[in-house]
Structure 1
């Protein structure tokens, strides 16, 4: 952590402080996203000396959920009591990032622990056809944990390639129930190509007599609850629970009439029907986020009833920044952009056996770090031929060790580049101009410091270009 970040952390969280003290330290505009109203939060401090068996891992992803879309992150109009409770019981990260600005490459970075640009499939932003996917020969979080004795399952959105060449069951997950594509209509399960996209393993349910046409989030919640309650024969388990909520189309539970209209458009050949650019609202989006919160609460209730809550590490995050109706204040940008609003995401970690609750961490972290962390906690070794780009946070989270030394978090999408070192962020957007921002003082990325810090700008640009030189080039369009 940089000295600037360390000073900010001491100033804002030098002891046990409440929301009002946080507001005074960080400024009125920043306060809502850094403190849940009415709560007392402590700076992060590990609880060394505790021992526990290898945990079950419940890894939950929301889809296109903005950084401040939870009430514990500052949303004034969205109520998320279950996720707020999860944050109070564990650690809430304020400076956590996705591996990319869209869902496919972020999922690649999470599953492989590497930059998306190290693999051909990760260059698709996002995957839109059957030409690329996650190579079944590439080690994954699931395959490595499975090799270390974990049971593994993925429930929900895959979006890392299509059959016949790519699927979760080819990449380390023993069980899969969900959709392959990037979006689907919540009732009919029709995907972007008009296909029925709900699978049990590698078999499409639509090929049989039975189809589950209930609201998709209800189905995923039910399946995940069954999995966490199940007897796994004494084996620890990894469950990747990938909701599609609150991704478009903007359909909440009970919106059968809106569903029928979108299905009609899909079947009439409208390729843009699922994008739902003529629908949605802040109110509808709020309804969908609150439904996601209830669904997570139901899965956590099932976990509690199973008697395994104490020994289960629960992780919650979004796959990238928010979309049209997200509440991202004070961040700039949305999904697809490498501005903060496109890549900074709400992130919560809870493990009762090893981590105290009510804590907040300001450490900059991103998706590949969680791969490295979970592999270490689960007793699995990375494959030497596929070195990780993330840094394990296990020592920081569990043993009271110092946070990772100041390092560089790297992002690349077509037409944009970004790199964070400490509090400083180098950014080049679609306009082509290099910019430099001090995120501790300017999370909104409005005060470009490039002119008064030319040496630092040059250093960060060179660092970005060194990493970029190691990655695969984007294919010509």
Structure 2
């Protein structure tokens, strides 16, 4: 695969030279400043503590760490849910999962379920503004009908998988759910181009597709969503990365994602657009820990490396809305706008991306629609703070809420694989002094508990028809 990239880079630099030659042959004319591009790199099931810039000592992530050095690293960046589908829907719509009609995980047999077409996505809004829009990687917002696919939600083109790489024929979950799944397909604009996939090559394939998109669209504004498959099970890495990390196949897959980030950034710089591209690196939820709590016969159903991720110093992980499930890496880079090396402690959430991008483009939010996200442009530019709102976590039902320093967690475990909680009553934590959610202080603050419960109940009442 590396030889493939050497060829690609020869083609890209040749294209750059031709573009520069054409530019110098034309008389100079006044032009408007270039519009902002948007690149969102989303890992799948990457833990809060899995990157060097977030404290990892077992994963080498120099390219992602460089993004943090050149931009802003949030310590309190959140997603709306601790599983795939609801977070991705919330990112693209700026709305919480129940509000946008995508509260639960979609399975291969979920052929009638999808992100509702009445929802207006960030891709659609940018497409209408003249942007080239592209998805490289995992979709997971509907696959049963053409109107469920990315092109029906604002993406010009899509290369990737319709759902996670473990939802494939022969996986133990297929047997447990008593369903019949097809081999995992790779799709190009809705057509199957490979089946089954090779999980070891996914990061290479998505990277090549993303870089190819940049090479073709560097001369116009674009939105590129690079949605990696890794380190979600079934974990894989290409031969150049296998057995190279200090943390098994899980670490190998993360170090390959870091390499991928470097390649995409190199493409932006090669075409002179890295300073006009807002880059976000994040994850759709925290790392998986729940399998470790189960008997050996259950663990054998899953890839052993699934438990190698780190959400340190947070509690919990994927499937639950403790901090380890919903607080994720959040790194923003935009030279000349975002000061380099800034560590930001104010909270932000994935639903903020849509209103933030529209703020930069001076595009108003669509009317007659409730948006849960808020622009964080003042935060990114160190000019002010985000409008203070509560963060509600969960999918089909709200199971957690952060309000200022307070975090309320309901005693509900959304997966049969998770460990038993210490209480059957709501748990309350002060995140200012207890980031690990180890000291339940609900009994000391009953009024805070009641207040936060009311907010969660109000949200569920508002969204019960969806």
SS at match of 1:241: strand
Aligned to 1:230: 216
Aligned to 1:135: 116
Within 2, Cα distance between the matches of 1:420 and 1:404? 15
Q: 1:382 to 1:155 in 2, by over 3 A?
A: same
Aligned to 1:66: 47
Moved over 4 A (4+): 125-128, 210-214, 255-258
Gaps of 5+ in 2: 1-31, 175-180, 289-306, 413-422
Aligned to 2:95: 114
Structure 2 counterparts to residues 161-172 of structure 1, below 5 A: 161-164=142-145, 165-172=147-154
Q: 2:377 aligns with which of 394, 404, 418?
A: 394
Structure 1 length-normalised TM: 0.77
Q: 2:35 aligns with which of 47, 50, 54?
A: 54
CA-CA distance at 1:128 after TM superposition: 5.6
Aligned to 1:218: 204
Within 1, Cα distance between the matches of 2:105 and 2:455? 24
- Conserved 8 A contact 1:120-1:472: no
Count of aligned pairs between the two proteins: 396
Within 1, Cα distance between the matches of 2:309 and 2:198? 29
Q: 2:344 aligns with which of 361, 366, 374?
A: 361
Gaps of 5+ in 1: 1-50, 259-280
Aligned to 2:29: none
Q: 1:341 aligns with which of 317, 324, 341?
A: 324
Structure 2 counterparts to residues 186-197 of structure 1, below 5 A: 193-197=181-185
CA-CA distance at 1:227 after TM superposition: 1.3
Aligned to 2:188: 200
Report the more deviating stretch, 221-230 or 412-421: 412-421
Aligned to 1:472: 464
Q: 1:213 to 1:121 in 2, by over 3 A?
A: closer
- Conserved 8 A contact 1:229-1:305: no
Q: 2:428 aligns with which of 433, 436, 439?
A: 436
Aligned to 2:420: none
- Conserved 8 A contact 1:177-1:198: yes
Q: Does 1:424 align with 2:424?
A: no
Within 1, Cα distance between the matches of 2:117 and 2:61? 37
CA-CA distance at 1:70 after TM superposition: 0.2
Aligned to 1:289: 254
Q: 1:243 aligns with which of 221, 228, 231?
A: 228
SS at match of 1:296: helix
CA-CA distance at 1:378 after TM superposition: 3.0
CA-CA distance at 1:463 after TM superposition: 1.5
CA-CA distance at 1:341 after TM superposition: 0.4
Within 2, Cα distance between the matches of 1:101 and 1:454? 26
Report the more deviating stretch, 89-98 or 234-243: 234-243
CA-CA distance at 1:118 after TM superposition: 1.4
- Conserved 8 A contact 2:133-2:154: yes
